[in-house]
Structure 1
């Protein structure tokens, strides 16, 4: 008997949002098809490079709301979450805390050092206690 998917987590890297939306679109479609709750999350850096950002959590919450408004998820009403810290660790931690059944995320990051050091997706796939669906970036 197949496992039921009740919660889907879709982490979105807002710094590369123009390059990667495939996983978000796939997560929205999966949530509709499976009748699952959708959690859309972004991970803010511990230390902002942009010194004009005074309240990092408020800034990234606004950016995440703006992203979802510009890319409507259809009939799904996603829950938005902002975390701070190391991206790969926070995604796994959030998935565990929320007891998600599936993480849907991009499989590649356009920065070259990720290919040399290993990717966030590979860490999440190796350490998450739930299933991970990786969407390749064209």
Structure 2
């Protein structure tokens, strides 16, 4: 029998994690209310700016697991995923591949206050096959 668990994807930008926790907290609360699985993802850059990071995917996987363990989603099954590439494309691709029911994400880079909706969120809203819930900072 196929798995029919409701799946919520929450992309997390670990570079802004101190400023960007509202979407994660909202996604965790939604997952608990719906008895859903929470897929927490981050996207590593294709070219790492920090030359001290030798294995980008392993580094960001460690950072993502640390974030999740420091911010537990009590009573929710959580899976972490690291992708590599353009953030907006990888979020949509992951959602399509995993047949995600809902994406919960931040509205914009928290340092950019001039935009109502950031370019990543705008792309995801336009291209995702599932519903997208935008959390404003």
5+ residue gaps in structure 2? Answer: none
Offset at residue 119 of structure 1 (A): 1.5
Aligned equivalents of 2:119, 2:88: Cα separation in 1: 9
Structure-1 residue corresponding to 2:16: 16
TM-score (norm 2): 0.91
4+ long deviations beyond 2 Å: 110-115
Give the 3-state SS of the residue equivalent to 2:80 in structure 1. Answer: strand
Shift of 1:29: 0.5
SS in 2 for 1:50: coil
Q: Which runs of 5+ in 1 are unaligned?
A: none
How far the C-alpha of 1:100 sits from its partner, in A, is: 0.4
Residue number in structure 1 paired with 2:65 = 65
Relative to structure 1, the CA distance from residue 69 to residue 99 in structure 2 (aligned partners, 3 Å threshold; closer, same or farther) is same
The within-5 A match list for 1:1-138 is 6-112=6-112, 115=115, 119-137=119-137
TM-score (norm: length of structure 1): 0.91
- CA distance in 2 between counterparts of 1:103 and 1:128 reads 9
Aligned length: 132
